[in-house]
Amino acid sequence: MLWELVGRFVVKNALFLATPSQTALALAKLWNEGALQHHSWVSAQEFLLGFVLAVVLGIPIGLVTASWRRPAAMLNPWIAGLYATPVIALAPLFILWFGIGIWSKVAVVASLVLFPVIINTDAGVRNADRQLIEAVRSFGATKLQLFTKVSLPAALPFILAGLRLGVGRGLIGVVVGELFGARAGLGFMITQAAEVFNMPQLFAGVVVLAAAGIVLTAAFQALERHLVPWNFE
């Protein structure tokens, strides 16, 4: 409501703000043209591939750094350094390496999602309560059993929280990656709209991204409820 009112009566110039009704119209138009579906699908692929890649690499790396001292000593400075690096600054480099197609964006997404996943997995395994480990050890459990039956389940809520953090960073990665060079995708659509001051279309792109963020976060919360019921019931 506020947005619509501000858009209609305060910032009347359509160059600066599009109202919800204009945004909705733009969404409908883009949908009818098929452009919305096309751009969303490209971005979705980039996001999913990058995200899955980061998870497939990140969880094992985090498990290793939490379990063994030597790999941890080797990898941790790198992880800390790269986590703090604005990977976004490397996006043009990725475009140069992997081309203008989806793989450069996949790389940007993966590099942004990877570090929170590693860090959370590592923290989760380390967080396992020593008393719980002792309790299971008192039955003569092996190191592997202690890992699978105590450390890993104890880490699960942390790992899932890492994935949820990754969602936001991954969406940023998609848009920023496309900004630096792409032929399609929501970020590309937004950039195009901005260049010709087509505010309704720009807002349409933003709305779709925000909706994706909400849906994905909700999906991960549902997954958490399913996988870690002991924290909820």
Instruction: State the minimum distance, in angstroms, from the CB of residue 155 to another protein.
Output: 11
Q: Which H or E element spans position 89?
A: none
Instruction: State the minimum distance, in angstroms, from the CB of residue 127 to another protein.
Output: 12
Instruction: State the minimum distance, in angstroms, from the CB of residue 147 to another protein.
Output: 12
Q: How far apart are CA 143 and CA 14, in angstroms?
A: 65
Q: What residue ranges bind another protein (CB under 8 A)?
A: 129, 131-132, 134-141, 145, 149-150, 153-154, 156, 228-231, 233
Is the CB of residue 26 less than 8 Å from the CB of residue 204? yes
Residue with smaller CB distance to another protein, 33 or 129: 129
Report residue 47 as tokens: 């996001």
Q: How far apart are CA 232 and CA 120, in angstroms?
A: 20
Residue with smaller CB distance to another protein, 33 or 134: 134
Instruction: State the minimum distance, in angstroms, from the CB of residue 230 to another protein.
Output: 5
Is the CB of residue 187 less than 8 Å from the CB of residue 43? yes
Residue with smaller CB distance to another protein, 123 or 227: 227
CB neighbourhood size of 81 (10 A): 10
Residue with smaller CB distance to another protein, 162 or 187: 162
